């Protein structure tokens, strides 16, 4: 297999132009002499219809926008490569997984689900995590999320789910939020959603960065080897930087301070050489074990606990190049779970089966043509030869008189490929059943894995779930909906339901309402099984908690530190901390009352990156106040007090040395500081190397959630 390490072949599929040292032209290549004035009958006369330059420019402008995605509209993407580290030819014949060291170009897009293109990055929401592999055998799309399960079991309910979570149709509110009546009305009547609700109410739904979240294929797929043997597979992306989240109050404030926070974070990380990286892992279930577990592998509301089937790492993905043009690449990229290559196939998951239709239909609507595969970002690096012709915006110029198969006039070309020649062949699964609208009894457990997820969380994470549910359900105006949700929550965990009920000023119902299951009418006995709870064979799983997840590493690479300064600041202290951070691939940003420069204790000058007006602690991972004679001028500064108070409230590392320690001694949270709080690094001496290392070690722990009042204990 050819190695795409230099990505030259991928680059050739783009027609790029930056206009440097070029003449301005029309779309037809005609050089333009005057682009500032339309053609008129005299200087003050009417514009002329014959002005083809103006007409072309305005017409193109009028048609620049295409329909945004109905879901996953708000996204950000980047180029990179996937490298095989542990080939699995015994499991799949997919060419891009055959050889150690083989690199395949990729484009990855991250997104929120519910909001429009103009919504905030920090909404409480599922995050899309989709990767397009430009393999030698064709395009392979792994279209997933940062949560391994989904709300519904059957694609028939997907339009209803999205209609419910979108802004309510009578007033188009709220944007990018699930905290409203229609969403929870739907959820309260769909108990199959309870496992997903636990995930969405957890900190997984408010990640610190796209670079610090896991990705999952969600569905069960198949791998097929050369011998035709099939195995079931679940796909996992494990981030090198670990899985981290922000606090909910912090997320709301970030939305106001910088709604592009995740987008900017990804761009800047790549731009500065801190390339995001994930490992691709697989959970392999032999075909003969399809019915081995207490859950159904075809049920998209269920996961396979890693204690039952460990994740095997097969490769790594590195994103190392930002797009040249957001619209042409990130906006026009077209993913489809049906884009597979030989060696990868589908399962009978009913949600997946529906997606296989929906995604093609969506791209036809958004991109306006069945030729969307010819847009450069979607173009295969493998040769494309078939008898498809014409259509809106066709770019391929097909020569010859033959456009059908079989034919003799074209020598029978293009040929069909035998399986041994790389031709795709679907797995030969025996299907012998009656046509029926319904679901298997094995799909009826709606609470077992919801319990498993909640039981796996740390006390802090359980507390965050309680707060999230209090916030979301507290926004619901209809009391009956809140009551139904308390009933469902009580079937996950009684204590959870009781604590949520306290925040709502309600009581958990003693008699539980039984909503219609699966969204079917009562007369359809095949689809109306009662919800049930099946005890999991795994009591709890560390892989399901962010705070104990093995992907969490103590690195502070790409983290940002706010360094608060004033005139008279210790130049040595600032220099020492910035050097220490740079050594760890982190960045220190200078913040002062005003932009410009501050004068140091040695009469030098330090450039100010942000003022308190243009910065906020929610945009940084930690705060450091260096020693300095002028630090007393900041003690009464309300902006600094707010800055520090938010940093403390959001459980971040705060450090001060020398005279700066006095600032913390009168901070609003001073009385709460304890010797057990390892996130407060206070040094009465001028910052030393050991002080810097202690600060960096504390940052590596991300947050000190112990500061929060714990609602669960």
Active site (catalytic) residues: 72, 145
Q: 132: which residues sit within 8 A by CB, 6+ positions away?
A: 106, 107, 108, 139, 140, 141, 333, 335, 339, 378
Alpha carbon distances (Å) from 480 to 181, 184, 508: 10, 11, 12
SS3 of residue 642 by DSSP: helix
How many Cβ atoms are within 10 Å of 297's Cβ, its own excluded? 21
Is the separation of the CB atoms in 434 and 521 below 8 Å? no
| Cα separation, 30 vs 24, whole angstroms | 8
Distance, CA of 559 to chain centre: 18
Instruction: Count each helix (H run) and each strand (E run) in the chain, helices first.
Output: 16, 18
Helix 248-257 vs helix 638-649: crossing angle, to nearest 10: 140
- CA angle, corner 35, sides to 29 and 36, nearest 5? 175
Show the tokens assigned to 240: 């090198």
Is the separation of the CB atoms in 82 and 106 below 8 Å? yes
Q: Where are the beta strands (DSSP E) in 549-621?
A: 560-564, 587-592, 596-599, 605-608, 610-611
Alpha carbon distances (Å) from 27 to 16, 190, 683: 14, 53, 64
Q: 456: which residues sit within 8 A by CB, 6+ positions away?
A: 540, 541, 542, 544, 545
Q: Where are the alpha helices (DSSP H) in 300-378?
A: 350-367
By CB atoms closer than 10 A (0-12, 13-18, 19+), residue 18 is: exposed
Is the separation of the CB atoms in 351 and 152 below 8 Å? yes
Residue 141's beta-bridge partner residues? Answer: 132
| Cα separation, 128 vs 124, whole angstroms | 13
What are φ and ψ of residue 354, in 5° steps? Answer: -70, -35
* Location of structure tokens 């009894």: 441
What does DSSP say about strands 560-564 and 344-346: parallel, antiparallel, or unpaired? Answer: unpaired
The single-letter DSSP state of residue 328 is I
- Picking from 16, 7, 27, 30, the residue whose alpha carbon sits closest to that of residue 83 is 7
Residue 391: which region, alpha, beta or left (left: phi > 0; alpha: psi -120 to 50)? left
Is the separation of the CB atoms in 576 and 657 below 8 Å? no
Q: Where are the alpha helices (DSSP H) in 189-345?
A: 194-200, 248-257, 261-271
Show the tokens assigned to 418: 């035998």
Alpha carbon distances (Å) from 62 to 40, 55, 58, 332, 333: 21, 10, 6, 18, 21
Show the tokens assigned to 492: 């996950």
DSSP 479-510: HHHHHHHHHHHHHH-HHHHHHHHHHHT----S
How many Cβ atoms are within 10 Å of 555's Cβ, its own excluded? 16
Alpha carbon distances (Å) from 311 to 27, 152, 280: 51, 25, 9
| Cα separation, 411 vs 415, whole angstroms | 9
Q: Where are the alpha helices (DSSP H) in 312-432?
A: 350-367
């Amino acid at each position: 297999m050819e190695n795409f390490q230099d990505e030259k072949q991928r680059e050739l599929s783009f027609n790029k132009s930056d206009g440097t040292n070029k003449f301005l032209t029309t779309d037809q290549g005609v050089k333009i002499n005057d682009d500032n004035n339309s053609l008129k009958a005299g200087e003050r006369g009417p514009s002329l219809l014959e002005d083809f330059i103006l007409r072309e420019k305005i017409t193109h402008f009028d048609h620049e926008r295409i329909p945004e995605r109905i879901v996953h509209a708000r996204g950000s993407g980047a180029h990179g490569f996937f490298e095989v580290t542990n080939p699995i030819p015994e499991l799949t014949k997919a060419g891009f997984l055959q050889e150690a060291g083989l690199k395949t170009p990729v484009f990855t897009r991250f997104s929120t689900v519910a909001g429009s293109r103009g919504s905030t990055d920090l909404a409480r929401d599922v995050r899309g995590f989709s990767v397009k592999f430009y393999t030698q055998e064709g395009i392979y799309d792994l279209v997933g999320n940062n949560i391994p399960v989904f709300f519904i079991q059957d694609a028939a309910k997907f339009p209803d789910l999205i209609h419910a979570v979108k802004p309510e149709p009578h007033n188009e509110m709220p944007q990018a939020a699930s905290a409203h009546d229609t969403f929870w009305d739907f959820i309260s009547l769909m108990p199959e959603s309870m496992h997903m609700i636990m995930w969405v109410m957890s900190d997984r739904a408010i990640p610190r960065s796209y670079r610090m979240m896991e990705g999952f294929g969600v569905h069960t797929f198949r791998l097929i080897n050369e011998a035709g043997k099939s195995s079931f597979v679940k796909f996992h992306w494990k981030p090198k930087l670990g899985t981290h989240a922000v606090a909910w109050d912090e997320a709301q404030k970030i939305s106001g301070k910088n709604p592009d926070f995740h987008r900017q974070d990804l761009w800047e990380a790549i731009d500065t050489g801190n390339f995001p990286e994930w490992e691709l892992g697989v959970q392999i279930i032999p075909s003969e074990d399809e019915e081995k577990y207490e859950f159904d592998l075809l049920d998209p509301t269920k996961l396979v606990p890693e204690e039952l089937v460990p994740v095997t790492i097969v490769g790594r993905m590195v994103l190392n190049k930002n797009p040249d043009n957001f619209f042409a690449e990130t906006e026009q990229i077209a993913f489809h779970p049906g884009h597979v290559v030989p060696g990868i196939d589908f399962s009978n998951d009913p949600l997946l089966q529906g997606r296989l239709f929906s995604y093609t239909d969506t791209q036809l609507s958004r991109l306006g043509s069945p030729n969307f595969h010819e847009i450069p970002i979607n173009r295969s690096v493998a040769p494309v030869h078939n008898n498809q012709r014409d259509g809106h915006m066709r770019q391929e110029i097909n020569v010859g008189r033959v456009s059908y198969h079989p034919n003799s006039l074209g020598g029978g070309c293009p040929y069909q490929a035998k399986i041994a020649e790389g031709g795709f062949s679907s797995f030969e699964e025996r299907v012998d059943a009656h046509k029926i609208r319904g679901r298997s009894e094995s799909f009826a457990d709606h609470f077992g894995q919801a319990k498993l997820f909640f039981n796996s969380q740390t006390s802090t994470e359980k507390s965050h779930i309680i707060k999230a549910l209090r916030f979301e359900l507290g926004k619901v105006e209809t009391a009956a909906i809140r009551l139904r949700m308390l009933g469902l929550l009580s079937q996950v965990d009684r204590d959870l339901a009781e604590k949520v009920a306290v925040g709502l000023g309600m009581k958990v119902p003693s008699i539980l309402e039984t909503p219609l299951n699966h969204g079917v009418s009562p007369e359809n006995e095949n689809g109306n099984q009662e919800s049930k709870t099946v005890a999991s064979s795994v009591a709890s799983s560390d892989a399901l908690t962010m705070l104990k997840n093995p992907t969490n590493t103590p690195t502070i690479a790409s983290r940002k530190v706010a360094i608060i300064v004033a005139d008279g600041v210790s130049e040595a202290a600032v220099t020492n901390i910035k050097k220490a951070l740079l050594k760890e691939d982190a960045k220190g940003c200078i913040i002062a009352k005003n932009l410009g420069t501050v004068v140091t204790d040695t009469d030098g000058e330090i450039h100010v990156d942000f003022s308190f007006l243009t910065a906020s602690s929610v945009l940084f991972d930690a705060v450091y106040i260096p020693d300095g004679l002028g630090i007393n001028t900041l003690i009464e500064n309300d902006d600094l007090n707010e800055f520090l108070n938010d940093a403390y409230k959001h459980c971040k590392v705060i450090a001060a040395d020398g005279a700066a320690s006095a600032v913390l001694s009168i901070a609003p949270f001073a009385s709460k500081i304890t010797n057990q709080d390892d996130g407060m690094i206070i040094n009465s001496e001028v910052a030393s190397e050991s002080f810097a290392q202690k600060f960096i070690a504390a940052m590596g722990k991300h947050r000190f959630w112990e500061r929060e009042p714990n609602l669960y204990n």
